[in-house]
Structure 1
Amino acid sequence: MEKLLIVDDDKGIQKQLKWSLSDYEAVLAGDRESAIAAVRRHEPKVVTLDLGLPPDPANASEGLAALEEILRIAPHTKVIVITGNDDRENALKAISLGAYDFYQKPIEPDVINVIVARAFSVASIEEENRLMRAVGGNDIGIIGNSSSIDRLRTMIKRIAPTQITALLLGESGTGKEVTANAIHLASDRKKKPFIAINCASIPETLLESELFGFEKGAFTGAVRTTKGKIECAEGGTLFLDEIGDMPFNLQAKLLRFLQEKKIERLGGRQEIDVDVRVVCATNQNLEEMVAAKEFREDLFYRVSEITLNIPPLRDREEDPIILAKFFLQRYAQEYKSNVKAFAEDALSAIKHHKWPGNIRELQNKVKSSVIMATGTQVTAMDLGFFDHEGKELQLDLNLRKVREQAECLTIQKAYALTEGNMSKCAELLGVTRPTLYSLIEKYSLNIAND
């Protein structure tokens, strides 16, 4: 139930408004001080405000002051000013100060309900638009509106127009490639290629040819001349992920490329000029690797002309909720699911989980939850938080309902463990595939059959 703050020093009017607006959870305040305290504590989307407040109930000064203070601390709040029949001038002044609407006494339940409902609707639409703007990340793909992400976006905008080589540091799953791509999108190179290569995922014997390319006949199997990733990124951006895993003997060749902007293909004799912006990333401590002679010191200083630290998800305030809603919309559309939102227990679980796997972990949980959800709302259980508050799950005392709940939970767990393979899921549960399909249909489980 949405919270509605009613500010009026007349107890009778308070009761009348509370009764007339019974579809909302009413919070009452009789003066400016208590109204401001209620705004801070309850964060209502809509406020009805009588302009005649103590200590000056005969005039509108205190009410207008309350309006200004409410909008200062909660600028998105919709304030509906309530005035007397002969106070149109102050009502219009309140509108000029930022009030959403005004209503003249006497109170008519049908009319005030329409005004308040419309205010809540507008507040919800604006909130969704703000969320989408936060999700959009100012068109560079950085999702979130926490202070740490705002700082990261500011850094990206500052370095993007330059040719400086950036080093991105952060835990696994924090979005280093997304950040590198954001630098690319914010630069004048955005219409050219963005090429990413993971130095840890390519065998040492192949990494050099992947980066620098090779001439025909350079080695057995080199049947034609092939450009490397560096040449493919001409005019654009090259992202070297996990640069701490680059073989030591290849680091010197990379250093020369960064300094001279020239390369030689494997087996070639001709220097090739390249115009490429380089962004590197690692979750290792390169300074320690330099001290241990595992990473070249000169290369370290060359790739870390500027360093950007990407915060872990647990330090990003309300961003887990924003990211979760973004992923929910994406996967609900992708899997043609009727899931629309998160239940309260799911939001609580998302907010309090520490997310050791960061955004990658969150993304995977939301993706599987869209498949697991049986209704229009994703629950904590759908997300895989079977006991997110450290308390026993509360089961119905009706044995039939307990059995059904247990069967649903067990099927969902087995489905997740077998990564959606129905044959393995049935085998794990000790039933036949037809029996499993029958149970899925019986409980209306939102599971995609293979």
Structure 2
Amino acid sequence: MDEFTTNNNISFESLPKTAGVYCFLNNKETIYIGKAINIKDRVKSHFLQPSYRDNLFMSKVTKIGFIETGSEIEALILEANLIKKHQPKFNVVWKDDKNYFYVALRYFIPQGKLKKDKMPYIFITHQKQDKNTEYIGPFIEGNAIKKSLKFLRKAFPFYTSANHPKQKCTWCHLGLCPGPELFENPPSPTRTTPRATARRESTAGLREYKKNIKKLTLILKGEKKNVLSSLKKEMNETSKKNNFEEAAKIRDKMHALENIMAHKNVISSQATENTGWEKTNTILKRLLNLKNDVSRIECYDISNIQGKQAVGSMVVFTNGQPDKSQYKKFKIRMENEPNDIAMLKEVFTRRLSHKEWTLPEVMLIDGGIAQINIAIKMKNSDKDTKDIKAISIAKRNKELYIEGIKKPLLLKNLHQSIYNLIIHLDDEAHRFAITYHKKLRKQELGLDNR
């Protein structure tokens, strides 16, 4: 990626403390792109305080790249354009109709106007459904793009709908809306204002509005330099015609644009993972028919070879993130025979006997209908644990079993954030179990010196 400055290894020291865009690479493949107020601090947070999403790909990162923008709005715009260009795997995997934002540009013909008088208006949307609408994005942070448009609207006023009241609206008085004039039909001709003159003035206003919208869309596509160059050219040409008042307006617009792009704060200074978990939590509650929020999820797995050195694992996610201080491992005590259900029963018996351990809202088990049934039986045997929701993941058939629902759900049909969470939990439980199993095998063979 030629536009990024990259490190040959994972090092924080060379990262700048300015606003910009960063990327994570797996060898030559760009797997994630993000923006930041402070690139160094944001990149460090991915490694030192990873979210449940970060844990899906941080182990794959071999290089870090960055581009300094010096401006939060430019970082926001550059991030959107680079994601669109490179389609990083771990940006795209979370993309759905409700996660990303687009700036939409749609044309309309005001009532009583001709087709050639069509005008654009601008709005923000989640969905790209209209073939006749131009979409700019995707933008990841909704509040940031809304703030950016509000600031840019000061330099390039625009309409946000195909209707406008006959009088000036609130946005007009704030200088953010072009006003009702462009919606009006040319005034009737008079002795001092012939029809041709009235029509010409109306057309000139529309032409100027369309030019402003074109400049705004170019800025959102990352072409600020071209816009400033175009404005400078217009100012010089206007000055040559001795239209100094108009030239001064263009100069003021240039200064306003440079000030907006350089100094406005639009990016949230806090990491957005908490907001992401709140959304995931809401979806998960609806999926599992839960009344209360999900703060703790436990996931269980069994690892053994024909019953030998059998172990069980329990991993814990708190608010969607691995809580490794709460992980537990169980060395199976029952006779060495390959019976995963009996082993799970032992693990659940031992886990639920620890009244001092915090209870989860959800228990996820690696397995199918037999595994979830034993979990339901064990938790329902105690009134204190019967409200825990049991679910299980059958990876062979790629299905999710949910307590209280007869038919399993296909994993591919789950909301992407829920799919990511379930897979991450299961992978982590499997990793923790197999690591302990391998350690016991090494000890048995005398290969472990510890």
Asked if Structure 1 and Structure 2 have the same fold, meaning a TM-score greater than 0.5 normalized by the shorter chain, the answer is no
Greater strand proportion: 2
Greater helix proportion: 1
TM-score by length of 2: 0.29
